[in-house]
Structure 1
Amino acid sequence: MYSVLNMSCLIKDKKINNILGVVGFIFLFICRCEAQTSQLAPCFFIFGDSLVDNGNNNGILTLARANYRPYGIDFPQGTTGRFTNGRTFVDALAQLLGFPNYIPPYARIRGNELLRGANFASGASGIRDETGNNLGAHSSMNRQVSNYGRTVEELRRAFRGDNGALSAYLSKCIFYSGMGSNDYLNNYYMTNFYSTSKQFTTTAYANALLQDYSRQLTTLYNLGARKVIVASVGQIGCIPYQLARYTGNNTKCNEDINNAISLFNSGVRKMVDNFNGGQLPGAKFVYLDSYKSSNDLVANAASYGFEVIDKGCCGVGKNNGQITCLPLEEPCDDRTKYLFWDAFHPTENANIIYAKQAFSSNSKSYAYPINIQQLAAL
C-alpha cells in the first residue's frame, strides 16, 4: 500500500491535492514515493475468460462457474469462483506487481473501490459475442469493455470531472487481456452448436477474430489504457479435454486446433507491433506468448516438479478431461505435481510459473518486446 506518512510527494501535483479535498484517500493510490512502496502500479484492470475469472460468473445462470468445492481448495479465502485450486495467473501477477490484495471481481465492487482496478473476466467468454452461449450466460469481451467504460465514468466522478488527472492516473495502470481460447473451444470447434467452421476457413476465422479484437483493444485505449498486456492463446490442443477427445494417430495432441490458434497468435503479435508502432500513440503493449510458455513448461516439466502433465488433478473420465471437476469431488492429493487442475485450467503452481516468466524473463519468447516489470516501470 502507498504510504500515508509522508505527504511531501503530493505537494508537487496541485491537481492531486485538489482531488484530495473531495476524496481524501485517493492519495493512497496516486502517491508514487518509490522509497516508501513496492507497488509498481496504482491499479490493475483484467479482461479475459475462465483462466482469470475470479467470481464474476457466480451469480449468473451458466455452467461456466466454479463457486463450489474443490475449486479454491488451496486458496486462502477458499472457494471464490476461481477455476483452479488456488491462485490464477493474474493473482500471481498482482502479487509480483506489489498489490497488497487480490484484484476483486467487477460483479461485487463499485465506487471508489474501483480506484485500485477491477477484474472483468468471465468464464466461457470470447472475442465474439456468441462464443460460450452453449454453456449459458457470460460477459463477452464486448460486454467487459462496456463495463470498463462504466468504470471510467465512475472514476471521473471521483476525480470531479478532471479528465486530465484521470487520464494521468489511468496511464500508470496495468491492463491485462487474455482472450481467444473459447472462440475456438466453445465456438469454432464445437460444430454441433456453432456454424462458424462452415462460414470461415481457419485463416478467415483468425482474421475475423483479430479485426474484432483490435477494435476492442482500441476502445480500451480510447478509454485511457496505455500499459496493456495481451496474452496469446495457449497450446489448447494439448489440454486434458482435447487429449480425452482426440483420436488422431500421429500425436496425442490435436494439432488441427494448435495450428489454427497459431494463426491467431501470429496475428495478435503483429497487432501489438502495429499498436506500438504508432497506431495508438503513447501506448505500450506487451505480447505474452502463452503458447510458447505452455509448450516449454510441458517440455521441462520435471525441472519444475511436475510429474503429471496430461491429466487433470480433478475431473471425470479419460485424462480426467471428459467432464470437469464436479461439486465435492475428491481431487488428487498432491496438486504441486500436476500441471492441470481440471480439463481446461492450470494448477496454481503452473499459474505462478507462468506469471514469473511473464513478469521478469529477459527472453522475448515469453514477453515481447519487454517484460511486465519493465512495462510497469515506464
Structure 2
Amino acid sequence: MGALRFILFLTFGFVLFGSKWTVSQPYQQGQVPCLFIFGDSLVDNGNNNRLLSLARANYRPYGIDFPQGTTGRFTNGRTYVDALAQILGFRAYIPPYSRIRGQAILRGANFASGAAGIRDETGDNLGAHTSMNQQVDLYTTAVQQMLRYFRGDTNELQRYLGRCIYYSGMGSNDYLNNYFMPDFYSTSSNFNDKSFAESLIKNYTQQLTRLYQFGARKIVVTGVGQIGCIPYQLARYNNRNNSTGRCNGKINNAIVLFNSQVKKLVDRFNKGQLKGAKFVYLDSYKSTYDLAANGAAYGFEVVDKGCCGVGRNNGQITCLPLQTPCPDRTKYLFWDAFHPTETANILLAKSNFNSRAYSYPISIQELANL
C-alpha cells in the first residue's frame, strides 16, 4: 500500500474488516499501551549491532551493569528511555526494531541508531546508520504490520496509537558529526549557525509531521544537551577563546539556537498545525547543565571525565573492547566520551517525568494521562 493511500486509509478508516479487535491484556500495561522511540546513540539499544559502523557498542565494557549484559546500549546500564519506560510502568524494556517479531510490535519499538541525525548524511563519517528519515520509514512499515492485528480496522488502530507515547531525540550528531566537522562535511561552509538550525527544523518538521500522519498524537521532542561540555569536547577544545570555561562555547551557542527553534516548533504544532496532537518539549540543555553544575548533590564526584575511554578526560576515544572501566560508575556523570552513565540517565528521566522544570508546556506524566 502506498504511503499517501495508507495515510488516507488510516485517517478516515474507509475500509473495515470483520469485528472490532481488542488488544490482548499483555499489551495493556503501564500508563500507556506502547512507546515508540526515535533518536541516536543516547537511546539506541542495539539497532546498530549488525551494521558496518564505528558507532556500535555491542562489546564489553558497554552493558557491564545491564541485567542482560552487552546489548548495544552506549552506556554501562540503562539508557534514558529504558528508565522512562520503567517509570511509565512497562514490565520489559522496549526492544530494538531490528529484533522485533510478531505482536511484540504492539508494545512499541526503538528505532534509534547511533550516529543518526536529522540530515541523511549526518554520521556518514562513522559508517552505516539509520537516519531520522529512515527511522520514520521503518515506523510507517511497522504501522502497516500492526494493522493486521486490528483486522484492518484503521479507526481502532488510530485510537490505539493515539494513546501511545512517542519519543524523539535528534540533533546532536547533526552538530558533532556534521556541522562542526568541516574536514568531512561542507555544511559549515554552506550555512551559518542560524541558517543551519533553520534548515534542520525544516527537515524535522516534515519528519515529525509524517509520524503524526501515521498515528502519533502524544509526542515528546527533546532539545540537544550541553554537548560543548562532554568529555570529547573537553579533551579536544582549546579553551583560550572560550569565555565560559573549558566547554566549547561555540558549539553550545549553536545548540541554543537549534533548541529555541525546536521549542517554537512544538508551539506551532500544539496551536493547531497538527490537529489533535500534543507535543512536549524537553529542555535537555538545561537538565544536563543542572546535573553537571550540581553533581555533588546527586552523588557525582566526577562530572568532566568518562568512566572509561582513552586520552585526556577519557574523551578522545570511546571505551575500548574489554577495557576496565572505573570501579564505581555511580560516581561518574559520563560513561564515555559522549554518553551519560546509567545513574545520570535515571536521574534525568525522573526529573523529566512528573515536573515541568524541564518540560514544556506539560510534563511527560501529564502527557501520558491525556
> How do 1:118-157 residues align onto structure 2 when only pairs under 5 Å count?
118-157=109-148
Identical counterparts, % of pairs:
68
Query: What is the letter of the counterpart of residue 370 of structure 1?
Result: I
How far apart are residue 16 of structure 1 and its match? 11
> Residues 267 and 16 (structure 1 numbering): CA distance in 2 closer, same or farther, change over 3 Å?
farther
Report whether the alignment pairs 1:310 with 2:270: no
Q: How does 1:77-226 map to 2 (within 5 A)?
A: 77-226=68-217
Structure 2 counterpart of 1:26:
24
Residue 299 of structure 1 deviates from its aligned partner by 1.1
Aligned position for 1:34: none
Matched letter for residue 367 of structure 1:
S
Once the 2 structures are TM-superposed, how far is the Cα of residue 160 of structure 1 from its aligned partner? 1.2
Separation in 2 of the partners of 1:59 and 1:77? 18
Contact persistence 2:136–2:207 (CA under 8 A):
yes
Q: Which amino acid aligns with 1:373?
A: Q
Check if 1:44 corresponds to 2:45: no
Where do residues 211-360 of structure 1 align in structure 2 (5 Å cutoff)? Answer: 211-249=202-240, 250=243, 251-360=245-354
CA–CA distance in structure 1, aligned partners of residues 311 and 290 of structure 2: 26
Superposed CA offset, 1:159-197 (max 9, x none): 111000000000000000000000000000011100100
Letter of the structure 2 residue corresponding to residue 322 of structure 1:
Q
Residue identity matched to 1:151:
A
2:6: which partner in 1? none
The alignment status of 1:375 with 2:359, answered yes or no, reads: no
Q: Is the 8 A contact 1:16 1:27 kept in 2?
A: no
Considering only aligned residues, what root-mean-square deviation do their CA atoms show, in Å? 1.3
Structure 1 portions without partners, runs of 5+: 1-14, 31-36
For residue 101 of structure 1, what is the amino acid of its counterpart?
A
3-state DSSP class of the match of 1:276? helix
Paired residue type of 1:114: I
Aligned residues between the structures: 351
Q: Which moved more, 1:155-164 or 1:39-48?
A: 155-164
- CA deviations 1:28-65 (Å, max 9, x no partner) are 335xxxxxx6x100000000000000000001100000
SS in structure 2 at match of 1:19: coil
Q: Secondary structure at the match of 2:68?
A: coil
Structure 1 stretches of 4+ moved >2 Å: 15-18, 25-30
Q: Distance between the aligned counterparts of 1:206 and 1:91, measured in 2?
A: 29
- CA–CA distance in structure 2, aligned partners of residues 19 and 349 of structure 1: 41
Partners of 2:291 and 2:210 in 1: CA distance: 34
The one-letter code sitting in structure 2 at the alignment partner of 1:299 is: A
TM-score (norm 2): 0.93
Q: State the one-letter code of the partner of 2:21.
A: I
CA contact (8 A) 1:41 1:174 kept: yes
Aligned position for 2:61: 70
Which 5+ residue runs of structure 2 have no aligned equivalent? 1-16
Contact conserved, 1:16 with 1:165, CA < 8 A, in 2?
no
> In structure 2, how many angstroms separate the alpha carbons of the residues matched to 1:16 and 1:238?
56
Work out the CA distance in 1 between the residues paired with 2:27 and 2:216. 17
Structure 2 counterpart of 1:28, one-letter code: P
Checking the alignment, whether the CA contact within 8 Å between 1:361 and 1:367 is kept in structure 2 is yes
Contact conserved, 1:46 with 1:176, CA < 8 A, in 2? Answer: yes
CA positional deviation for 1:112:
1.1
